[in-house]
A and B are shown apart, each in its own frame.
Chain A
Amino acid sequence: MSRNFYFIGIAFFGMINGIFNQLALIFTLLYVQLLAGPLLFGSLSLTLMFASLMVSTATVILGGIPAAIYERVTGASESTDASLWIWLAGTALLALPATGNFLKIGL
Chain B
Amino acid sequence: MDIASSLAAYWYFHLPNFILAVLMYTLLGRVLLGLMVDADSPNYIWRFFCRITDPVVAAVAIVTPKVTPPVLIWLFSFVWLFWLRVALHYTLLLFNLAPRIGGAAS
Contact = CB atoms under 8 A, between A and B. Distances in A.
Main SS of chain B's interface residues? helix
A61 B106 contact: no
Size category of the B interface is: 20 to 34
A22 interface: no
Contacts, number: 62
Nearest to A6: B67
Size category of the A interface is: 20 to 34
A79 B101 CA distance: 42
Interface of A: 3, 28, 30-31, 34-39, 54, 57-58, 61, 64-65, 67-69, 71-72, 76-79, 83-84, 87
A72 B89 CA distance: 32
Interface string B72-87: 0001100110110110
Contacts of B75: 57
Given A36-B82, A61-B80, 18 more contacts: A31-B86, A34-B105, A35-B21, A35-B86, A35-B106, A54-B83, A61-B63, A61-B64, A64-B64, A64-B68, A65-B63, A68-B66, A69-B63, A72-B62, A78-B66, A79-B65, A79-B67, A83-B67
A54 B67 CA distance: 21
Interface string B47-58: 000000000000
Contacts of B105: 34-35
Interface of B: 21, 25, 62-68, 75-76, 79-80, 82-83, 85-86, 89, 101, 105-106
19 contacts: A31-B86, A31-B89, A34-B105, A35-B21, A35-B85, A35-B86, A35-B106, A54-B79, A61-B64, A61-B76, A64-B65, A64-B68, A67-B65, A68-B66, A71-B65, A71-B66, A76-B66, A78-B66, A79-B66
